[in-house]
Copies of this chain bind each other. A is one copy, B any other.
């Protein structure tokens, strides 16, 4: 499971409550590893019994108390151990690919609409990543060690969205201009 490790990375960067983590997962990290707040609370509880994180209740005024989690020594050890183990192979899992393959048995015009929507989503995320890159890493040739990982992850997102857009364009060309061939 990598959710635990995603949380460890996030807490290693900065301590946070479950609620804070859920928001981070909605924003930056979550583009590469989704998690709901329910799941985060559950995993945090297990991680605390494992000794990877420690919590401290922080009273706030005008707002509910919050439980701030910090990574422990054991958590840092686990994170280091995890990075030195090979990542298991990741397989694509694309409902969209299955749907393309269903073309001869389905509604081609609805699928075309779907491709268009998908392309828009790719374009949006690409813009978000490029904006993020420009704001957080204005000088990519001159990155500190602590920034390198975040930059490379964003680059991966950018390359992946560009590939996604190129794919949609190929599909649309095939599905919307059959008369030209």
Measured CB to CB, the residues of A under 8 A from B are: 2, 5-6, 8-9, 12, 29, 31-34, 76, 79-80, 82-107, 110-111, 113-114, 117-118, 121, 141-142, 145-146, 148-150, 152-153, 155-157, 159-160, 162-163, 166-167, 170-171, 174-175, 181
Task: Check if B83 sits within 8 Å of A34, measured CB to CB.
Answer: no
Task: Check if A93 sits within 8 Å of B33, measured CB to CB.
Answer: yes
Which residue of chain B lies nearest to A71 when distances are taken between CB atoms in the complex?
Answer: B105
Q: Which listed residue, B83, B99, B149, B159, touches A166 by the CB 8 Å rule?
A: B159
Q: Which residues of B are found within 8 Å of A118, using beta-carbon distances?
A: 87
Q: Which listed residue, B86, B92, B153, touches A117 by the CB 8 Å rule?
A: B86
Q: Which residues of B are found within 8 Å of A171, using beta-carbon distances?
A: 152, 155
Q: Which listed residue, B6, B76, B102, B159, touches A9 by the CB 8 Å rule?
A: B102
How many identical chains are in the complex? 2
Which residue of chain B lies nearest to A83 when distances are taken between CB atoms in the complex?
Answer: B106
How many angstroms between the C-alpha atoms of A96 and B2 in the bound complex? 9
How many angstroms between the C-alpha atoms of A159 and B87 in the bound complex? 22
Task: Check if A33 sits within 8 Å of B97, measured CB to CB.
Answer: yes
Q: Which listed residue, B33, B34, B101, B113, touches A95 by the CB 8 Å rule?
A: B33
Q: Chain B's nearest CB lies how many Å from the CB of A122? A: 10
Task: Check if B104 sits within 8 Å of A146, measured CB to CB.
Answer: yes
Q: Which listed residue, B89, B103, B150, B155, touches A121 by the CB 8 Å rule?
A: B89
